[in-house]
Chains A and B, each alone.
Chain A
Amino acid sequence: MNLHELTIHEALDLLKNKKISSLELTRAVFERIEAVESSVDAYISLTKDIALARAAAADKAISENDIKPLTGIPVAVKDLICTKGVATTCASKILENFIPPYDATVMEKLNAAGAVMVGKVNMDEFAMGSSTENSGFKVTKNPWNLSHVPGGSSGGSAAAVAADMCLGSLGSDTGGSIRQPASHCGVVGVKPTYGRVSRFGLVAFASSLDQIGPLAKDVTDAAIMLQVLSGYDPKDSTSIDKPVPDYRAALSGDVKGLKIGIPRQYHTSNGMSPDVLTAVQNAMNFYKDAGAELVDISLPHSQYAVAAYYLIAPAEACSNLARYDGVKYGLRDKESSSLIDMYRNTRSSGFGPEVQRRILLGTYALSAGYYDAYYKKASQIRTLIRNDFMQAFDACDIILSPVTPTPAFKIGENTDDPLTMYLSDIFTLSANLAGIPGLSVPCGISGDGLPIGLQLMGNYFAETTILNAAYCFEQATEFHKLRPEL
């Protein structure tokens, strides 16, 4: 048995029955990281000493029968979630030396649940990107084919799970940044309802869209992690005070009578890979055979999601990123003699090209004379997109679609033209604009041997419904058990 290959729920059973120790498990994960990290480049930093100390503490707790939901489980954390005393870089030169003096709420929750953080994982700088090529430090590779991207922006989170370099990870999803890399790497990724998981201590990109969520080897693990992460946090003014259901207990695998909406616009899009279409069609057939009812629905405004998103997200980003001014933390250009020069020189040398592009775009969209034409217009379209979903959920319980039009593309293939890259987010952006939950579950392998994910979206706070539907599919298929050869 290779310990690093275990799922969280398998490892928890073995830990509880004292068949393995957390130290053995954690060491096995670090051995795996040492063996494959030079190929995958998933991690920005490793926290081995802290991890081994926490693993030892977990073993002691287990011996005293003090067992929490993630006691002794090695996890990775996207490097935009603040970790007290451990560098949090956002994959940006501007935060390269930033050591948070506090933990994000999700880190407090992970720590309280007994998890063992093994390191911080790579991402597109400030979560802006769909390939992890925009990292200020390195390009993460897709473990299934090292010449392909892992997706993004949570590319390190997805690659680390797929390559068994952790048992589960945290990512963040502003326009698909959990679901798309999960799909490209063949793992499960969940974007919860906006407000379900606290954003306190998450480095902000677009505050009305950002949401933290788990990436995991299977649906059960994702449910266990989501349980730990969810809940009201007074430190996040957008956090929603609503009871958290028992996600794992909701995994019955029964979808009889479940109404699954099939958006007609999502299956006729140009540029769809035939492999993706076939895999999604197979999943639809599976659900029908399992007793679910497929319902034709319409999301007529989803064709405007990319345009609305790429005004709203950069507008919010340029405002959020104004804080990187070289004064309070992060990089400072020390040569500048005036304050304004210091701002400009610091920001120009600290931000990478995609971040600068989005800051410029957002600034333009918010600037005098353009606000109504761009930001307000996009926010009105956002209402229409949200209304589409509300209407759809009158007719169905969940919505099924592809995650992305194609499997993972090649490294370097899309870097010249940002717009092409943006258009690949077509199926995932709407859920962020509407604030509803969505997930990706493995549903196929392309002819080139790359994973394909299935997206399930649910109504507000209906995480249990989409998790259970994904679980039903997963239990009947083997895709989640496939692992890349490294």
Chain B
Amino acid sequence: MKLTKEEVLHVATLARLNIDESLIDTFADQLGNILEYVETLNRLDTKDVPPTFHAVDKSNAFRADETTDHLDRKSAVSNAPEEDDGYFIVPKVIE
């Protein structure tokens, strides 16, 4: 199994990645091999098996709705590539 070039490019768009033209074939092959391998799961009938998303059972973890210690605004934006007075600056979104 091998993904098509279009499939690789479509998934890359969903994932917000650019795939270098020279690597499309490699990714198509490698992803295809992995997907072919995971096909082995279809040997098992799982019609009535509930899925496990978390191994250790725990329902919602709530806390009291009270103010606690938190990062101050300056620290929270301290790693921003571009920032102005506590706001993140990004390239223009609306033309």
Contacts and interface: CB of A to CB of B under 8 A. Distances in A.
Nearest to A95: B79
Contacts of A418: 30, 34
Interface stretch (A96-104, A159-167, A170-178, A286-294): A96-104
Contact of B27 (A342, A347, A357, A432): A357
Contact of B41 (A307, A325, A328, A343): A307
A188 interface: no
26 contacts: A97-B79, A101-B71, A101-B76, A208-B53, A234-B61, A237-B61, A307-B37, A310-B34, A310-B37, A328-B88, A342-B90, A347-B17, A348-B17, A348-B18, A360-B12, A367-B11, A376-B51, A378-B38, A380-B49, A380-B51, A417-B30, A432-B55, A433-B55, A434-B55, A435-B55, A460-B56
Interface string A328-360: 111110101111111111011001010011011
A381 B11 contact: no
Contact of A343 (B11, B16, B42, B88): B16
Interface of B: 3, 7-8, 11-12, 14-20, 23, 27, 30-31, 33-35, 37-38, 40-42, 44, 46, 49-56, 58, 60-61, 63, 71, 75-82, 88, 90-93
A234 B95 CA distance: 43
B51 A379 contact: yes
Contacts, number: 173
A344 B31 contact: no
B44 A328 contact: no
Interface residues of A, number: 75
A200 interface: no
Contacts of A376: 51
Given A304-B44, A307-B40, A238 B56 contact: yes
Given A307-B41, A363-B11, A386 B81 contact: no
A181 B50 CA distance: 33
Contacts of A363: 11, 14-15
Contact of B79 (A330, A380, A382, A436): A330
A347 B15 CA distance: 9
A344 B55 contact: no
A96 to B, nearest CB: 11
Interface in A377-397: 377-384, 386
A361 interface: yes
Contact of B15 (A240, A318, A422): A318
A205 B63 CA distance: 25
Contacts of B81: 326-327, 329-332, 334
A384 B71 CA distance: 42
Given A101-B76, A327-B88, A383-B50, A364 B11 contact: yes
Contacts of B12: 360
Lowest 5 A-B CB distances belong to which pairs? A435-B55, A379-B51, A329-B79, A332-B81, A237-B61
A339 B95 CA distance: 11
A207 B56 CA distance: 12
Contacts of A334: 81
A378 B78 contact: no
Contacts of B23: 353
Contacts of B46: 377, 380-381, 384
Contacts of B30: 357, 417-419
A361 B12 CA distance: 10
B17 to A, nearest CB: 5
A318 B7 CA distance: 17
